[in-house]
Amino acid sequence: MSQMPSRRPTIRDVAKHAGVSKSLVLSDPSKVSSLRRSRVEDSIRELGYQPNLAARSLVAENRHAIGVVLGELHNPWVLEVAEVAREALQAAGFDVLFSAAAIHDGRGIGPAEPQALRDLRVSGLLVLGSADDTASFETAFGETPAVFVGSGRELQANTAVVSVDDEQGFGLVMDHLVAGGHQRIAHVSGGPGPVSAQREAAYHRAMQRHGLRQHVRVVEAGPSLHAGYDAVAQLLASGARPDALACFNDLCAFGAIQALDEAGASAAVTGYDNISLSSLKRISLTSVDSDFQDLGRSSARLLLQLVRSPEGKFTRQLTISPRLVVRSSSTGNTQLPGESAVGATLVE
């Protein structure tokens, strides 16, 4: 029996041990005879070979790898969508490589992170989170198929977009708040970026539709808990007392609730994304459910279509219809220790 090399075994060692060429080890398994493939697999196990994807990408395309760019890592919805997409991509036979994106000036993911994964010659790219709407990604992607998820980006060559219908989502929020008797409804914004702009525009249109233009108020904040807290704390310190706060996302809403509690003020509060923390009884946040299961599965399915059939004719822009999950944060049924839990209801 051959001895394992004292150094880390390489592709060359595997090829020599199996009695095949190095190019055969790197080739597509579907193009290799079952006998030779079995010999290579036996050698890999015996030598303890571990592939170096970065090195392999210099000599051959990673035909069985997908790159996933994770933006907005402060927001759990990105990880929830990524996990669903990962399972779907791995079930289709692909390895998944992750890259964490740096968000510049709050505008979203820039081209650098997709470029880094593309340089590894992955078969496709999944970009999760708000992407910079002022940046061009054409150079970063090259001919690599890519799908933007939840970004608000426009279609480009070799790309597709999966997004949530924010017009419908914020419409559900505003209809719910107005039906609850609220008129002085302030919007706590998500800062710069295309998704924030879309939700703010939807807020303005809904207020106008309900004849509440005189009560329009936008509180500049951001997508984080701290941004929501600071913005609402300053709003309350100015003496303003809105009936309701329609927040950009759930984290922003958590901060708003904390600021209200510390000021001894009350207002209906809504969020967006319906992350798992929103359902905790001590929080019980009304939120727009963007269905991360559907986002993850749909984005993976669309990327697989692009990878397998770049010129295929299929829908390259999918919009997920959200629903509103109504909880006690917007109904006035404040839940204190010892009281019975307020059941969540779904408003389709």
At CA 20, angle to CA 19 and CA 22, rounded to 5?
Answer: 130
Can you tell me the distance from the alpha carbon of 325 to that of 46, in angstroms, rounded to the nearest whole number? 54
Same domain assignment for residues 176 and 213: yes
- Domain containing 17: what range? 11-51
Asked, for residue 315, whether it belongs to a domain, the answer is yes
pLDDT value at 247 more than 90: yes
- Do residues 171 and 267 both lie within one domain? yes
Indicate the SS3 state at residue 346.
strand
**Is 345 a member of any domain?**
no
Per-residue pLDDT tens over the stretch 270-302: 999 999 999 999 899 999 998 999 999 999 999
In a domain, 128, yes or no: yes
Using pLDDT thresholds of 50, 70 and 90, give the confidence band for residue 57.
very low
Q: At what angle do helices 76-91 and 292-308 cross, to 10 degrees?
A: 40
Is the pLDDT confidence value at 31 over 60?
no
Which tokens belong to 71?
């933006």
pTM score, whole prediction: 0.76
**Is residue 106 located within the same domain as residue 170?**
no
| Residues 147 and 187 grouped into a single domain | no
331 vs 193, residue with greater confidence: 331
Beta strands 268-273 and 217-219, pairing class: unpaired
- Of 238, 273, 308, the domain-final residue: 273
pLDDT value at 32 more than 60: no
Q: Does residue 111 sit in helix, strand or coil? A: coil
- What is the percent of the chain with per-residue pLDDT over 90, rounded to a whole number? 47
pLDDT score at 40: 73
Helix, strand, coil percentages (3-state) for the chain, rounded to 5, are: 40, 20, 40
Tell me, yes or no, whether 267 lies in a domain: yes
| Highest mean predicted confidence (pLDDT) among 36-40, 59-63, 152-156, 276-280 | 276-280
CATH of the domain at 242: 3.40.50.2300
79: in domain: yes
In a domain, 326, yes or no: no
The β-bridge relationship of strands 323-326 and 345-347 is: antiparallel
What would the mean pLDDT of 222-232 be, rounded to a whole number?
A: 95
**30 and 40, same structural domain?**
yes
Could you give the CA distance from residue 38 to residue 18 in angstroms, rounded to a whole number?
A: 9
Average pLDDT over residues 227-247: 97
Segment 70-80 mean pLDDT: 85
Amino acid identity, position 177: L
Shared domain check, 297 and 152:
yes
What's the burial of 251, exposed, middle or buried (CB within 10 Å: 0-12/13-18/19+)?
buried
Q: What is the pLDDT of residue 348?
A: 35
The C-alpha angle 275, 277, 280, rounded to 5 degrees, equals 130
Is the same domain home to 78 and 32? no
Res 121: pLDDT: 81
Cβ density class 269-291: b for 16+ within 10 Å, e for less:
bbbbbbbeebeeeebbbbbbbbb
CA distance 26 to 56: 8
Mean pLDDT calculated for residue range 338-346: 34
Is residue 4 over pLDDT 60? Answer: no
Let me know whether 205 and 260 are in one domain. yes
Domains in the chain, number: 3
69 and 150: one domain?
Answer: yes
pLDDT band at 50 (very low <50, low <70, confident <90, very high): low
What letters, b where the CB count within 10 A reaches 16 and e where it falls short, cover 158-177? bbbbbbbbbebbbbbbbebb
- Say yes or no: 171 and 137 in one domain: no
Span 140-151, mean pLDDT?
83
- Report the pLDDT value the prediction gives residue 158, as an integer from 0 to 100: 82
Q: Looking at residue 38, what is its pLDDT?
A: 77
Residue 83 within any structural domain of the chain: yes
Task: Using pLDDT thresholds of 50, 70 and 90, give the confidence band for residue 340.
Answer: very low
Shared-domain flag, residues 268 and 296: no
Per-residue pLDDT for 60 more than 50?
no
On whether residue 347 sits in a domain, the answer given is no
Place of tokens 């969508």: 81
175 and 268 together in one domain: yes
Decide if pLDDT at 342 tops 80.
no
